[in-house]
């Protein structure tokens, strides 16, 4: 084995050990894409951080190639991979080539975790996973049984480099995906912002969707999706927002876990009522 190969292997093992050690905590916290700028200028380099935490305050997760199922940026004309340095933070860097809306998407490969029953029940309640609670009750799950779960992250970020109002978010094929039906950068405080949640490309009805303001994290909105998978928010303040949702299903027979979950998020900015949507 060459020195460079040994170094790469050692780094991979180190990252894996660290992530295994913190995985139970990651499983019960938000995950989102944090760009260095939501409104970059033409020609600018934008760093894309993977962040884990709560209330839009998080710690960076370094780029781990083995964890990435897809990491792409889409314009109205193309979809290209997001480059980055292995183990790097930010996890990706893109250059803004033209005016328009940029849609960044990240999906991880599944990762197994175990959660204490109390912590698992707490996060089922926080994320509105009432169906799973009902299944656990009907199955007579032992109160002290550890929950074994396989989770995947499905994060998006919407950036504007002076996007025309006609441009909009687009599906990227994430397993669980939030798609805004109106350009957030053509939306101001108090206007309707419809968002659709899909699971494997189909509307996910009855899911809890939560919107969190970076300026005032205590200022949360929540709604359940209708039969078309849609919620409509009227965001009460400008700045950066995180919209999130979780979907969980029983694991397939023969799996080494009990549950499989998918965590979707989308981050973007909207203008305050007295700001122009394209003023920055």
Each residue's pLDDT tens digit, 32-41? 999 999 999 9
On the question of pLDDT at 143 being above 60, the answer is no
The residue among 11 and 167 whose pLDDT is bigger is 167
On the question of pLDDT at 28 being above 80, the answer is no
The pLDDT of 122-133, averaged and rounded, is 91
The answer to whether 167 touches 184, Cβ cutoff 8 Å, is no
Average pLDDT over the chain reads 87
Note the residue count of the chain: 280
- Phi and psi based region of residue 277 (left: phi greater than 0; alpha: psi -120 to 50; beta: remaining): alpha
CA atoms of 280 and 131, how far apart (whole Å) = 43
Report pLDDT digits (tens) over 85-124: 999 999 999 999 999 999 999 999 999 999 998 889 888 9
Question: What band does 136 get if pLDDT is binned at 50, 70 and 90?
Answer: confident
On the question of pLDDT at 274 being above 60, the answer is no
- Tell me what pLDDT residue 158 has: 97
Question: What band does 125 get if pLDDT is binned at 50, 70 and 90?
Answer: very high
Element (H, E) at 16: helix 3-26
Please report where in the chains the tokens 């292995």 appear, as a residue.
86
Strand locations in the chain (E): 30-35, 45-54, 57-61, 68-74, 79-81, 92-95, 101-108, 111-115, 147-160, 176-180, 192-199, 202-203, 208-213, 220-224, 230-234, 239-250, 259-270
- Tell me what pLDDT residue 146 has: 87
The answer to whether 149 touches 113, Cβ cutoff 8 Å, is yes
- Tell me what pLDDT residue 174 has: 98
The residue among 222 and 135 whose pLDDT is bigger is 222
> Over 96-135, what HEC string results?
CCCCCEEEEEEEECCEEEEECHHHHHHHHHHCCCHHHHHH
Residue 222: both structure tokens together = 């929540």
Question: What band does 15 get if pLDDT is binned at 50, 70 and 90?
Answer: very low
């Amino acid at each position: 084995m060459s020195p460079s190969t040994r170094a790469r292997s050692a780094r991979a093992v180190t990252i894996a050990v660290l992530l295994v050690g913190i995985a139970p905590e990651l499983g019960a916290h938000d995950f989102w894409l944090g760009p260095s700028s939501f409104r970059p200028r033409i020609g600018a380099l934008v760093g894309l951080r993977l962040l884990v935490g709560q209330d839009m305050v998080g710690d960076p997760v370094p780029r781990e190639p083995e964890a990435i199922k897809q990491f792409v940026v889409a314009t109205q004309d193309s979809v290209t991979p997001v480059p980055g340095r292995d183990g790097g933070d930010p996890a990706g860097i893109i250059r803004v080539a033209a005016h328009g809306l940029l849609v960044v998407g990240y999906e991880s490969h599944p990762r197994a975790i175990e959660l204490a029953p109390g912590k698992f029940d707490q996060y089922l309640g926080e994320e509105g996973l009432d169906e799973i609670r009902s299944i656990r009750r009907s199955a007579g799950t032992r109160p002290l049984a550890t929950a074994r779960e396989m989770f995947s992250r499905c994060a998006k970020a919407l950036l504007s480099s002076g996007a025309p109002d006609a441009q909009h978010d687009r599906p990227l094929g994430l397993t669980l995906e939030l798609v805004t039906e109106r350009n957030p950068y053509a939306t101001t405080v108090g206007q309707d912002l419809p968002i659709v949640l899909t699971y494997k490309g189909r509307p996910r009805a009855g899911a809890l969707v939560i919107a969190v303001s970076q300026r005032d994290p205590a200022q949360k909105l929540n709604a359940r999706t209708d039969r078309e998978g849609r919620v409509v928010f009227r965001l009460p303040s400008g700045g950066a927002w995180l919209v999130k949702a979780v979907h969980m299903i029983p694991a397939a027979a023969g799996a080494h876990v009990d549950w499989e979950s998918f965590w979707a998020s989308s981050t973007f900015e909207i203008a305050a009522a007295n700001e122009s949507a394209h003023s920055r």
